[in-house]
């Protein structure tokens, strides 16, 4: 196992609801070469807050048509999934067709379809440990539109001890997010 990257707070600010917010630093670490078979990476996301938001991964899309699987080892999370919107055959990044907010606990596993941008949010009081099977690497373009729009379509904050979705005003015609858990998860075709 080797340390691939550390996302310090300064590197996460472009996708925060409040880019001036302070809080946990670093926000997360990604380790590679986990197993030779299924799991490629281990992401450890810090607990706590960054301003009003829970700590999260930067978020990205995939430039390939390959599924990715996340397996939560420990902690509690919300996985934000947002489906790309196409008009006349062109992707319109500031619009999404569907937003799924998937509550995850230890042992949960989710297969992410390639048309969905995604990020993990640590909503628990302990470090969030998650395996993934993504071996294809990432291009700068995987992150570009999310950074340009200052994050995914919704930010996850806390209200009365529970995760709450706050719309990102940079997106147009946002659908109401669908909260689910892995057994209930259903991707729109």
Can you give the pLDDT of all 189 residues of the chain as single tens digits? 899 999 999 999 999 999 999 999 999 999 998 887 889 999 999 999 999 999 999 999 988 788 999 999 999 999 999 999 999 999 999 999 999 999 999 999 999 998 999 999 999 999 999 999 988 777 777 889 999 999 999 999 999 989 999 999 999 999 999 999 886 666 655
Look at residue 187 in the predicted model and tell me its pLDDT. 62
What's the pTM?
0.93
Look at residue 142 in the predicted model and tell me its pLDDT. 82
Beta bridge partners of 102: 79, 180
- Measured distance CA(6)–CA(50) in Å, rounded: 16
Look at residue 188 in the predicted model and tell me its pLDDT. 57
Token pair in block for residue 181: 């858990």
Residue in the structure block whose two tokens are 């109401």: 176
- Measured distance CA(63)–CA(115) in Å, rounded: 9
CA dihedral 67, 55, 43, 13 (to 10 degrees): 80
Nearest CA-CA partner of 130 in 151, 109, 112: 109
CATH of domain 2-184: 2.60.120.10
Q: Cβ(102)–Cβ(156) under 8 Å?
A: no
Look at residue 40 in the predicted model and tell me its pLDDT. 93
Token pair in block for residue 65: 């048509």
Nearest CA-CA partner of 7 in 59, 52, 53: 59
- Measured distance CA(153)–CA(174) in Å, rounded: 7
Per-domain boundaries in the chain:
2-184
Q: Is the dihedral of CA 132, 138, 140, 142 positive or negative?
A: negative
Residue 91 burial (CB count, 10 A): 12
Cα separation of the two ends of the chain: 36
């Amino acid at each position: 196992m080797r340390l691939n990257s550390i996302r310090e707070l300064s590197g996460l600010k472009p996708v925060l609801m409040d880019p001036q917010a302070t809080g946990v630093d670093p926000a997360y670490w990604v380790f590679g070469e986990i197993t030779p078979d299924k799991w490629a990476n281990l992401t450890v996301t810090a607990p706590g807050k960054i301003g009003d938001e829970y700590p999260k991964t930067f978020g990205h899309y995939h430039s390939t048509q390959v599924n990715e699987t996340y397996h939560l080892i420990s902690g509690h999370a919300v996985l934000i999934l947002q489906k790309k919107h196409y008009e006349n055959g062109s992707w319109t990044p500031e619009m999404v067709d569907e937003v799924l907010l998937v509550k995850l606990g230890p042992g949960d596993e989710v297969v992410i379809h390639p048309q969905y941008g995604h990020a993990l949010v640590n909503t628990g009081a302990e470090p969030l440990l998650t395996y993934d099977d993504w071996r294809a690497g990432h291009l700068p373009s995987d992150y570009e539109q999310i950074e340009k729009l200052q994050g995914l379509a919704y930010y996850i904050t806390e209200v009365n001890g529970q995760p709450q979705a706050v719309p990102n005003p940079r997106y147009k015609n946002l659908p109401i997010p669908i909260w689910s858990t892995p057994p209930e998860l259903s991707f729109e075709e």
